[in-house]
A and B are shown apart, each in its own frame.
Chain A
């Protein structure tokens, strides 16, 4: 065993023969990756669908100052709220946080077919396709298949897994035609959304039933989506009651392995859902919406077999199904005040990396917004969430306990104080939470917003955010890999163990600043910078070697246990420029920088690229044609610890699409994605050593509406 330890200590890696390929995995790195991977328990966040100074940025993409309102099309104008949730009409340009919005126009121009795809061109967001159905998506760093620092909500319903610490992206299948916008807040959203909104918040907001009336049929057919068919019908039940329902069938082909072979990562399934909006009176709005899905995914599972002395790679079929329902009632009590009640129930049975979870979540929350005097605008709320997770043992994971029950209580208040009316505001706020794992959490923050004129905005922020430990970090035990100890020696196995003694959340103190300027009515520039200080980080300690007789055969066990107490910091920023070159041509460019370092091992962050550059061009041509294109450079993923070559090199991606609208009824589009690149790797999954590459993709989409 000393031998093993010495090997780990000196070389820092071991060989895990695997499916014929020799994978070099460095143990503490692997452990740390799994820490990101694994995660989560207990409480979560309270979703605040819409409020607060920047949440309303948020809920209201709107309130473009006149200069930009004139740039909007009639369709866009029809979606501009007259009375934003924030009576202050804080808007994107004047929000005191780093916010970006993916609009339905972006979605249709670029033919984004999933939420992660739609996030690819958002500054500060790292999107990497692990395989056909799994994604790594994170804001400002620490990316992984379960990126536990980024909170994701769909119409106010949190889809952050309370056991794995992250999002099951493959099951988040809102039809893209139904999405009104996706708001991405970079930096902590903890004062409103609470725990786990550490590095960012992604809000997916769907269109109201009223905006999706009539019959819509969309058929996509291509080299990967083969096919995807969505039928949606929206109608009115008389008066101010509108509804819609959709059904989607999709079949996605396999991607490729580095040697060009099929990766076995196909997926197909059904999704269906509905939304009902009613306005029984001018001051009341009711929304009821629900979804269901049933998916089948091809997956490669790596099972360490000490009895065989090898790692078995199994191609398995994994099934996921789930349902959710959400109701919301908003009552506007005056021009400047309103309250709302929202409740949701979410049930899913998801599979990932050879393990699975059956989860039920019930959530209810109340929000209230009102002014005090003429200078203060208060948003407050309280909520309760109950999560019940069942985690059956599998060939790679066991959970102690296997039943997880969590009660989360929360309350928050935020005040927007006008120091100088319409010019200078101070926005203090705080969230208080209590969960069963870490007890009380207090997440305060303060922002300062200065708008010297309608063409400039300067903001500053200081925020404390927390991430509650994931069940994977407190209760799971994963068998990671089998390895040979020495020629003819006993087999060995690497395992990761959660640590029930972890009772503190990870903490972040984030310092942010941003500046926006519209030098001319055609150009707008947005710059944001951040410095993040993390403490109480949970990581896996280097492996401890033991020789064990049980289970048989006797073998070396390298056990790495989750430990609290790590620290780290990161800094960086994003610059984005929008330029309306002519009435018919728009260019959008952005650059994102991220540097991070974590202690005690003094490692560079290995999970997200340091540099990203995006460039998009939207060109309207005569006769109903549209030509849209994008270029993206995604830097390599830094891995200073590994003596092996960079696991994920940088890549350049080019997308091009031509859309034709011969009449208001029909739309035909042809898109090429990753053009000129046969295939590239975007991410190395931590759950399997199999690398799956993203191929060039050609797709045709026909939409018919009446």
Chain B
């Protein structure tokens, strides 16, 4: 009564051999490639200006800030005059910042990037990025920047101490920013509540 019926055809016998062969060939390919390529490790270091990820992200932030800050109307010739981002002395962004602002508009305004070396030039920009090490130069231009309602953006403790408005800080591996609202208001800038809300700290008038 325990008669058994196998209703299914048996597996063909050659299948295991087939899979073994396949496995062997795959292994051979992998091992071969590994051996072949090992010596490449001693190759030359890659060249070319690779912009660090930090600055790529900072560049995107700087562009984004244009949407959350309102300049006094006298800073623009017209409703579609461009917003100008200046980079002080030394450009850490390579072409990244220019690439980001290209073809992107904030409302009706295009965004342009310019290098800034003098206080006079600084008076033409809306945002000025002050890289680490250039805070002293910013201090020289301080009055001109304030008068021209320039949003200063930097990335150092010193920058913050010298009255910079938005200061990038590195929080682990993430880029965050602090806002000196007092300095911003002094410069006649309106910084949106949304941006203030995202800042890790906001220094207000005491």
Contacts and interface: CB of A to CB of B under 8 A. Distances in A.
Interface stretch (B70-78, B80-88, B192-200): B192-200
B45 A600 contact: no
A542 B10 CA distance: 11
A650 interface: no
A374 B26 contact: no
Contact of B59 (A69, A79, A373, A567): A69
A234 interface: no
Given A77-B175, A446-B33, A507-B19, A66 B2 contact: no
B85 to A, nearest CB: 13
B103 A84 contact: no
B5 A376 contact: no
B22 A509 contact: yes
A535 interface: yes
Nearest to A565: B11
Contacts of B79: none
Interface of B: 1-9, 11, 15, 18-19, 22-23, 26-27, 29-30, 33-34, 37, 40-48, 50, 52-54, 56-57, 59-61, 63-64, 68, 95-96, 99-101, 103-105, 170-176, 193-195, 197-198
Interface string A540-559: 01111111000000000000
B33 A70 contact: no
Contacts of B173: 81-84
Interface in A365-399: 372-376
B57 A80 contact: yes
Contact of B60 (A77, A372, A426, A566): A77
A73 interface: yes
**Which residue, A74, A375, A533, has most C-beta atoms of chain B within 10 A?**
A74
Given A375-B41, A444-B30, A446-B30, A422 B64 contact: no
B27 A82 contact: no
Contact of A445 (B30, B41, B174, B194): B30
B8 A70 contact: no
A412 interface: no
Given A446-B30, A545-B5, A422 B61 contact: no
A223 interface: no
Contacts of B9: 600
Given A82-B54, A82-B174, A74 B46 contact: no
7 A-B pairs with the lowest CB-CB distances in the bound complex, closest first: A421-B46, A373-B41, A70-B100, A542-B7, A565-B11, A374-B45, A69-B60
Contacts of A503: none
Interface stretch (A1-9, A115-123, A309-317, A467-475): A1-9
A374 B103 contact: no
B197 A67 contact: no
A105 interface: no
A426 B37 contact: yes
B60 A70 contact: yes
A81 B171 CA distance: 10
Given A74-B198, A426-B37, A545-B5, A66 B46 contact: no
10 contacts: A66-B99, A75-B198, A77-B57, A81-B53, A82-B52, A82-B57, A373-B40, A422-B46, A430-B30, A583-B104
A72 B61 CA distance: 9
B174 A417 contact: no
Contacts of B41: 372-376, 417
Interface in A63-102: 63, 66-67, 69-70, 72-75, 77-84, 89
B11 A374 contact: no
Nearest to A12: B7
B34 A79 contact: no
Interface in A651-685: 664
Contacts of B7: 5, 8-9, 28, 541-544
B44 to A, nearest CB: 7
Contact of B56 (A1, A66, A74, A375): A66
Contact of A565 (B15, B26, B95): B15
Given A78-B198, A210-B171, A375-B40, A535 B2 contact: no
Contacts of A422: 46, 48, 50
Given A430-B30, A446-B29, A521 B174 contact: no
Contacts of B15: 535, 565, 567
Interface string A232-273: 000000000000000000000000000000000000000000
B122 to A, nearest CB: 24
A8 B1 CA distance: 18
A545 B2 CA distance: 8
Contacts of A80: 53, 57, 174-175
A83 B53 contact: yes
B53 to A, nearest CB: 5
A448 B40 CA distance: 15
B106 to A, nearest CB: 9
Interface string A405-418: 00000000001011
B128 to A, nearest CB: 19
Contact of B33 (A72, A418, A428, A541): A428
A702 to B, nearest CB: 19
Given A78-B176, A374-B43, A375-B41, A464 B23 contact: yes
Nearest to B63: A70
Contact of A78 (B2, B43, B175): B175
Contacts of B48: 421-422
A546 B43 contact: no
